[in-house]
Amino acid sequence: MAAGAALGDPSFEELFRLHAGRLVRLAHLLGAGDPEDVVQEAFCRFFVVHRDRRPENLVGYLNRMVVNEVRTRQRRNKLADRKRLHLVSAPPASEQVERDESVTALVRALRELSPRQREALVLRYWLDLPLADIAVAMDVRLGTAKSLVSRGISRLGQQLEDHR
């Protein structure tokens, strides 16, 4: 058992084994172009910062780290694009062939949402997190999380109607 870990806390390796795949999918749905790298960076930072002391909610904390890393990378990419003085369209997050047209339309509509609305919807409906946990993962107030989910659902519905 790691020094300072509470009895029953999973080891770092167990955390990685249990949650890495889910966190990669989360990063992908949030629009990361390199979701594996995002998760690797989150786990590396988690290991360095919390080697001896673990936060109360390990999974929630890892979710927040992934959300923040995706945001940071997206911000960096926008700044780099501005410095180049021309807009570069981002490559699709995945080259996977999607079998179902409705899934393709849904993914396309999700990509058209603002990053914060997309984050809120993915956390709510893909991870099935309650609004309080969404607020923690996104580092916003509960009311803001509610608003982002509500407005995101509304906009997503409009976009899906427009694509028909």
Model pTM above 0.75: no
- In order of their start, the domains of the chain are 1-92 (no CATH), 97-164 (1.10.10.10)
SS3 155: helix
| 53-111: pLDDT as tens digits | 666 778 888 899 999 999 988 888 777 766 665 444 444 544 444 445 777 778 888 88
DSSP H stretches of helix in 1-125: 12-29, 35-49, 58-83, 101-112, 115-121
pLDDT of residue 3: 41
